[in-house]
Structure 1
């Protein structure tokens, strides 16, 4: 599993990104409405499904309340949020998953759910910078692809949850979502962290190499 191997081998402290991370930490919390902008500009026009949008908004409000209450990150909490995203109870997927019209395949094996649970909960307690933690959770939700549907939405919600819980504003989402990302590509992982940090600091986000 390229993402897991890369994630376990990577130095998530990103010492070469310290100036960007410190600049992000210096930004006072504010409501940026980044999720709502992404919905209006990209997600809703792409899907034209009012019920889908309403469920996401409900899940977003729930995530924000959890973050404001300093709720811990657990796999069960991710499932709870995803149930709101999809409108029904959810469990970990039980077979291979596909995305981007079948171009991306995410394999299933019996230990995958336990592995995902351990990783998410250990990462949440490892003391990395909140921006790094938020990016890492985004990537885990995208590349473990834990749920039968809605993993991209789960990734955006998890990203906001960890930033907001750390009292950091959510940066513009479009550059982050559209940044090409492939499982195991640690150069892109670092670039994602840099773009997120710069977006939070208000420096914009170009597609520069890390």
Structure 2
């Protein structure tokens, strides 16, 4: 029996989540870059090569935010080549699976175009920034565009969306909990969590 297409489920949930209730983010500067601290701390302890690759990708993502580069698959692939240490990072060619096979992300002739449309909405000023960052993170997680490293790509995307508007979270570790495609409350909670982390000061 084929598992339900969790990508289709996510696209429905995406339209149902109460994004407008996301908190307003503070633009007060923080001395701590949570992504870099995470790379230099727990990631480096586990795998120094992985940490170095993530830091290179993070530098690119931040630079792309500064120059206001359009958020699209080609941009994500640039970061992902650094993340994976590979010369190519193409869009997946088949259905993808995650969570020990409990979620399946289908692939249709429209998948890449749908993904592009979702990424473009990351700059839609009609929604709070925390909501747009959370939604972009989940878009990458559930479109699952790459054959490997999608969780890292999702986190880099979130960092990029925030950095475009001069927001740097002082901590990113709490963002990395398992998310499910069929959970609209959980999607909204991610935006709330971004607000909580934004208010932490070190």
RCO higher in 1 or 2 (8 Å CA, sep ≥ 6)? Answer: 2
Q: By how many angstroms is 1:33 displaced? A: 2.2
User: Does 2:177 match 1:170?
Assistant: no
Give yes or no for contact 2:65–2:161 (8 Å, CA) kept in 1: yes
Distance 1:135 1:82, change over 3 A: same
Q: Indicate the SS of the match to 1:13.
A: helix
**104-113 vs 148-157, which deviates more?**
104-113
Q: By how many angstroms is 1:40 displaced? A: 3.9
Distance (whole Å) between structure 2 residues aligned to residue 159 and residue 144 of structure 1: 15
Q: Number of matched residues? A: 194
Distance (whole Å) between structure 1 residues aligned to residue 30 and residue 53 of structure 2: 24
Q: Indicate the SS of the match to 2:89.
A: coil
Distance 1:121 1:99, change over 3 A: same
The TM-score normalised by the length of structure 1 is 0.82
Alignment partner, residue 43 of structure 1: 43
Q: Which segments of 5 or more consecutive residues in structure 2 lack a partner in the other structure?
A: 1-7
The TM-score normalised by the length of structure 2 is 0.85
Alignment partner, residue 76 of structure 2: 78
Q: How far does the alpha carbon of each residue in 1:126-183 deviate from its partner, in whole angstroms, 9 at most, with x for none?
A: 53222211111111111111111111111111111111111112242111112x4210
Structure 1 segments of 4+ aligned residues over 4 angstroms from their partners: none
Q: CA RMSD in A?
A: 2.2
Q: By how many angstroms is 1:36 displaced? A: 2.3
Distance (whole Å) between structure 2 residues aligned to residue 79 and residue 5 of structure 1: 26
Give yes or no for contact 2:130–2:192 (8 Å, CA) kept in 1: no
Which of 43, 65, 77 aligns to 2:63? It is 65
Q: By how many angstroms is 1:203 displaced? A: 7.9
Distance (whole Å) between structure 2 residues aligned to residue 61 and residue 104 of structure 1: 31
**138-147 vs 167-176, which deviates more?**
167-176
